[in-house]
Chain A
Amino acid sequence: MDIALVRDLLDKQLVDREGEPLGRVDGIVMSYSADAPPRITHLELGAQTLARRLPNPFRSILAWLGRRLSPRASEPYRIEAERIIQLGRVIKIDIDGARSAARETERWVRDHIISRIPGS
């Protein structure tokens, strides 16, 4: 099956086993060596990944913001390429989203900000 990685994989929406959103493909990591075709190893998500795609000086500003908004030292979140179940309008990943680290920022915002407001 033929894939155009920029058109069909990069920046596409990711969903978990249940179809719930996980984020977008912010980066794609491949393993390169001179004597074999490169292999895609991981998909990457996160503010740091996005920040690196910007030209300087925006890169530094966003990296700073990313570290402030994410609770931990925002390591990019990686998904092994083998976990890709389906490519299409959205990319389906074999992950239990509820417990996944991909949703960490969402959970943090929920627990530290949203839950503190009544009626949520």
Chain B
Amino acid sequence: MKKLLEITLGIVTSIGGFLEVGSLATSAQAGAAFGFQLIWAIVLGTVCLIFLVEMSGRLAAVSKQTLAGAMRDRFGYPFFLVPLVAMSLLALLVMASELGGVCLSLQLVTGISFPWWAPVGAFAAWLLLWKGTFSVVEKGASLFGLVTIVFVIAAFRLHPDWTRAAHAALPSMPRHEAMRYWFFAVSILGASIAPYLLYFYSAGAVEDKWNETDVPVNRITATLGMSFGGVLAVAVLIVAALVFVPRGIRIERFDQIALMLTPIMGRWGFYLFAAALGIACFGAMLEIALSVAYLVAQGFGWKWSEDARPRDAARFSLVYTATLVGGALIVMMGVDPLAITLMSMALTGAFLPIAIVPFLILMNDSRFVGQHTNGWISNTVVCAIVGLAFVLAVVSIPLEVMGS
């Protein structure tokens, strides 16, 4: 019975922070521009993420170290700076995107222009981290995040051609606007395979004092939790495809995406979209701020603990505070939230090898994971998908930047 409860909690906690502004924006744009065609990108991204999250939990359970700590341990000091700096800067951009999502949802509901909401959103997130404990943050964000199920309901209400959707789970070549197609593909991959999730997940596992007996349960929760997130993203894509394509709407701005539920649910659709967007992005903000703090604190050996009072983990608290402030500053500069979201997702795809290759080396090193080293399937799948993301990013990002 206790195990069942543990598993359910694990799945629930895996949901929050998965459907966030990145998945939402990339899936919606992909659906509006290419119909069902890019479902395969979501499938690939989700599969890769499942493997990676499972590995992250397994590393924590067996080595009793977090991913960041294990990286410094195994690769030593100058090398560790490379993933540290790259992932932190990237996280800052993604943080700005998520905060942008929260601000947009507040703008949708109140009409007050979104940059004004940035200090409010950042402050609210900061307060929750400052005063809350890890479990409160994790579980709260996830439970409220369940509002995103509204997209699944909407997808069913539209009676899509499920066979066609299933066929789209296999990769296909674009019939028009090839460069845009591949740019969206890599953005979707970057949105699904978020490195910050891995630092967050392994830190949580260590703080919860996982051990080897938790490895099988971790496999289940990682699979079910991340799959659910993938299902949500596919639902968003299907709804976008069936709502925008017949109307010939091309998504250029975020507030167009906000209307995607209205044809199906009327006025309620609009408010539900705002709620789903705001809550999911808020949850992601918390996770990203913590992830950067984990990366830095664990890499340098400082005390890190979300449960501890800020004064007992001073530098750790300073880092997540600084990350939130940094994100807020970027949003207040007035950058276009849709553009920054898409670009940060694509850049994530480009930088994935920096985060993932050291991780894979760790997962094959018995000094860290003992008997539980990766099988050849995990290694091959992750290498292939990350390799694909990298190639796509290197090819499509420059062209997209030049084209716009």
Contact = CB atoms under 8 A, between A and B. Distances in A.
Are A and B in contact, CB atoms below 8 Å, in the complex? yes
Contact of A120 (B77, B304, B309): B309
A76 interface: no
Contact of A113 (B63, B69, B77, B318): B318
B73 A106 contact: no
Contact of A117 (B77, B80, B310): B310
A78 interface: no
A53 interface: yes
Contacts of A13: 69, 73, 301
B72 interface: yes
Contacts of B310: 114, 117, 119-120
A10 to B, nearest CB: 7
A120 B302 contact: no
Contact of B311 (A12, A20, A50, A115): A115
B315 interface: yes
Nearest to A54: B78
A50 B301 contact: no
Interface in A13-49: 13-14, 20-24, 26
Contacts of A99: none
A1 interface: no
Nearest to A21: B303
Interface centre among B130, B131, B301, B310 (most CB of A within 10 A): B301
Contacts of A24: 72, 300-301
B314 A106 contact: yes
Given A110-B314, A119-B130, A20 B77 contact: no
B302 A106 contact: yes
Given A24-B72, A89-B65, A11 B300 contact: no
A70 to B, nearest CB: 12
A114 B317 contact: yes
Contacts of A20: 303
A12 B73 CA distance: 5
Contacts of A55: 78
A6 interface: yes
A105 interface: yes
B interface majority secondary structure: helix
B171 interface: no
B129 to A, nearest CB: 11
Contacts of A14: 301
Interface string B56-80: 0000000111000100110011101
Contacts of B64: 89
Nearest to A6: B76
B73 A11 contact: yes
Contact of B318 (A12, A26, A53, A114): A114
A87 interface: no
The CB with the most chain A CB atoms within 10 A, among B130, B311, B318, is that of B311
A101 interface: no
A19 to B, nearest CB: 11
A56 to B, nearest CB: 12
Greatest chain B CB density within 10 A among A11, A53, A113 is at A11
Contacts of A65: none
Contacts of A117: 130, 310
B306 to A, nearest CB: 14
A105 B301 contact: no
Contacts of B73: 11-13
Interface of B: 63-65, 69, 72-73, 76-78, 80-81, 130-131, 300-304, 309-311, 314-315, 317-318
11 contacts: A21-B301, A21-B304, A89-B63, A89-B65, A106-B314, A109-B315, A114-B310, A114-B311, A114-B314, A120-B130, A120-B317
